[in-house]
Amino acid sequence: MQFVVARNPDPDSRLPYLVRLPIEGGLVLKVRDTWPRTSRVFCARVEDGWPPEAEIVEDVPVAVCRRRGVAIDLVLQRPRENRSQFVFTTLPTGREGIFWQTRKVVTTARPGARIPGRRASGLADLVIEIDTRERYPYRFARQQAATARAGLTAGDYAVRAGDGQLVAVVERKALADLAGALNNGTLVFELAKLAEVPRAALVVEDRYASVLKHGYAPAGFLPDLLARVQVRYPEIPIVFLEPRALAEEWTFRYLGAALAEHRAGEP
């Protein structure tokens, strides 16, 4: 995979360069500069594809080019100026805005656009579904979130898109439940089911230290099993939170952020 930078052959364009990302069939953008060195670089899509007469400025091997919600992470195979991110957002005019940024410049500049970073409580229509089999569920009363009972195919708590598609789920476990699922091998099947949802997490209402000193298993046995399933399913975070109220708060934030991210990425 190659990341290509070229001069924009369009003399009327205010964006003098082109970049081609090895993603989505070859995403071509007009850009203001060849790299975001001092500030975020404004970009715009090129709908007609890559012009064959473009003069190549850089052609660099790519280590990673991956979309993550409203952003594309880009890592190049070179020692310097190798990590950046393209953020897709909405301008105040309603048009699409794309900003190319690095970690260095993100702390010193902010584009004139709404980059999704909304808190869960900012979603006025957030409805969290609670599985009908969940006993003593979170009520999210302090967060003032609406809830509804539903038969979920995965997880104990979920949020959906407007078309009914599952966006994110959270599975809740007490320490005893986690230990039992690790011992009898059923946790991997639960995680496999969670992995079918775009975003999923497992929250444990206890401290990780309690796994280390669990009284009904040899020392190190449960932590080793847990590490193995985490390696097998790296896309599913397993979060230890105590007390219960903190686990409830994290679940609320996670589901709200997942729904906000999903909506920001919709066309």
pLDDT at 95: 87
* Spatial separation of the C-alpha atoms in residues 34 and 133, rounded to whole Å: 54
What is the DSSP annotation of 203-263? EESS-HHHHHT-TTS-TTHHHHHHHHHHHH-TTS-EEE--SHHHHHHHHHHHHHHHHHHHH
CA distances from 260 to 57, 155, 266 (A): 38, 19, 10
Residue 111: which of 91, 93, 96, 95 has the closest Cα?
91
- Determine the average pLDDT of the residues in 223-240: 94
pLDDT confidence of 267, banded at 50, 70, 90?
A: low
Tell me: the pLDDT tens digits for 174-214? Answer: 999 999 999 888 899 899 999 999 999 999 999 999 998 87
Q: Give the pTM.
A: 0.66
pLDDT confidence of 114, banded at 50, 70, 90?
A: very low
* Residue 121 three-state SS: helix
Listed in order, the ranges of the chain carrying CATH 3.40.50.10130 are 120-264
pLDDT at 122: 54
Q: Which CATH number fits domain 120-264: 3.90.1150.10, 3.90.79.10, 3.50.50.60, 3.40.50.10130?
A: 3.40.50.10130
Residue 85: which of 98, 70, 101, 96 has the closest Cα?
101
Q: Is 157 left (phi over 0), alpha (psi -120 to 50) or beta?
A: beta
pLDDT confidence of 116, banded at 50, 70, 90?
A: very low
